[in-house]
């Protein structure tokens, strides 16, 4: 990985191009008094990280900031407090994160994994070379909204859909799936949409997300204006590719702003993302406010405005099913880390089970 896209060290060089501002400077004051220097983490691997400081890239050990909680480990995008000298040099702390993109790991331990920190824009890359998976887009959007970043859906490989009417329908499908989110079509072959995307990400930090084969590395190269990220062909049968990017890398963009490129994500598990889910399905939550009962589950309750919207065709049934699925999944994840919520869920299960047995007994005329 080359860091040639970063400004070279010079007496006048500072960290402003990487997102440093007065608020970060105030946060860093205690560390300045300790003789530490600020820098932004551009890559993490094997207990060490590359940090861009005012004097250029330094390699630093993360032994002092490796807690047992996986959500508190240092990650790409963090602002770090690094020793001014030494061999090896150590990261002694990192500043409180403004935003954090977190997903559930694919392991059975129900742990969260932080993918990027201090992100302003979450770019969700979706390939038009294969059939759209609207459910997966909704998952990415839920995590993006929960992170505190502004999501942006980018439909890549638009040149593979030459019919403008068909392309328009695909965009409309995604827009209906992503209320309040800008949807762009781009093509690295024709250059379509890359100038608009470059303008959007020119301010702040953006993270590039998507499954393997979505065209993230190609998109990163288009934004960088050079072949920095290695690109591999996706399989024609399903549009999936191998993991070209194996680490999360922070790259300076020539038009301003910085980009964090990430490996393709096989799993997009939610991690305590109730607010994000609500944002993705904002129209459902608006209907829910009109339900007769404030705790309506939108299953079969009388006076349910959500079910009425489905019956009238105002709300797609697929959206409601996806909403229910993501809420259930998120509740399971939270319950595994929240003892009180686990207790509430178990109590609810017992009540529903007792109610079901009572209804069954009543239907049999009191016979068991």
Q: For residue 258, which of 199, 203, 184, 200 has the smallest C-alpha distance?
A: 203
Least confident of 95-99, 121-125, 155-159, 227-231: 227-231
- Per-residue model confidence as pLDDT tens digits over 183-222: 999 998 888 999 999 999 998 999 999 888 888 888 988 8
Place of tokens 């301010």: 203
Q: For residue 121, which of 285, 253, 273 has the smallest C-alpha distance?
A: 253
Cβ atoms < 10 Å from Cβ of 205: 25
d(Cα 62, Cα 135) in Å, to the nearest integer?
37
pLDDT computed for residue 348 by the predictor: 64
Whether 35 and 57 have beta carbons less than 8 Å apart is answered as: no
Q: 238 pLDDT exceeds 70? A: no
Query: Reduced to 3 states, what is the DSSP secondary structure of residue 103?
Result: strand
Q: For 37, which DSSP code?
A: E
Phi and psi for 38 in degrees, rounded to 5?
Answer: -85, 155
pLDDT computed for residue 11 by the predictor: 31
pLDDT computed for residue 113 by the predictor: 81
Least confident of 8-17, 237-246, 308-317: 237-246
Q: For 64, which DSSP code?
A: G
Whether 120 and 206 have beta carbons less than 8 Å apart is answered as: yes
Average pLDDT for residues 54-64, to the nearest whole number?
Answer: 91
| Higher pLDDT, residue 255 or 306 | 306
Q: Which residues of 249-274 are buried (b: 16+ CB within 10 A; e: fewer)?
A: bbbbbeeebbbbbbbbbeebbbbbbe
Average pLDDT for residues 342-351, to the nearest whole number?
Answer: 61
| Higher pLDDT, residue 236 or 272 | 272
pLDDT computed for residue 42 by the predictor: 94
d(Cα 21, Cα 6) in Å, to the nearest integer?
18
Q: Write down the mean pLDDT value for the chain.
A: 83
pLDDT computed for residue 242 by the predictor: 46
Average pLDDT for residues 158-163, to the nearest whole number?
Answer: 94
Cβ atoms < 10 Å from Cβ of 163: 8
pLDDT computed for residue 273 by the predictor: 82
Average pLDDT for residues 281-307, to the nearest whole number?
Answer: 92
């Amino acid at each position: 990985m080359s860091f040639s896209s970063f400004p070279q060290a010079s007496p006048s060089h500072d960290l402003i191009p990487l997102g440093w501002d007065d608020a970060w400077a105030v946060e860093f004051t205690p560390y300045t008094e300790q003789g530490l220097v600020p820098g932004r983490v551009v890559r993490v691997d094997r207990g060490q990280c590359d940090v861009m400081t005012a004097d250029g890239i330094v390699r630093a050990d993360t032994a002092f900031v490796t807690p047992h909680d996986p959500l508190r480990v240092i990650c790409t995008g963090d602002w770090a407090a690094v020793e001014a000298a030494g061999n090896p040099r150590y990261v002694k702390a990192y500043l409180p994160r403004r935003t954090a993109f977190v997903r559930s790991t694919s392991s059975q331990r129900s742990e969260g994994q932080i993918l990027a920190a201090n992100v302003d824009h979450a770019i969700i890359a979706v390939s038009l070379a294969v059939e759209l998976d609207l459910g997966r887009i909704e998952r990415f959007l839920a995590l993006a909204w929960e992170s505190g970043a502004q999501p942006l859906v980018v439909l890549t490989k638009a040149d593979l859909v030459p019919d403008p009417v068909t392309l328009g329908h695909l965009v409309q499908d995604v827009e209906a799936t992503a209320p309040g989110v800008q949807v762009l079509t781009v093509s690295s072959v024709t250059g379509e949409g890359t100038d608009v995307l470059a303008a959007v990400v020119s301010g702040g930090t953006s993270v590039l997300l998507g499954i393997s084969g979505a065209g993230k590395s190609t998109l990163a190269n288009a934004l960088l204006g050079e072949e920095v990220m290695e690109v591999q062909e996706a399989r024609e049968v399903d549009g999936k590719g191998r993991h070209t990017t194996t680490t999360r890398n922070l790259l300076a963009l020539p038009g301003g702003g910085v980009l964090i490129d990430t490996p393709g994500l096989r799993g997009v598990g939610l991690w305590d993302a109730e607010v994000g889910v609500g944002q993705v399905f904002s129209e459902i939550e608006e209907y829910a406010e009109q339900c007769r009962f404030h705790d309506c589950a939108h299953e079969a309750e009388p006076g349910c405005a959500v079910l009425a919207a489905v019956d009238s065709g105002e709300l797609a049934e697929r959206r409601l099913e996806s909403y229910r699925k993501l809420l259930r999944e998120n509740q399971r994840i939270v319950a595994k880390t929240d003892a009180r919520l686990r207790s509430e869920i178990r109590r609810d299960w017992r009540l529903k089970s007792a109610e079901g047995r009572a209804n069954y007994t009543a239907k049999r005329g009191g016979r068991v």
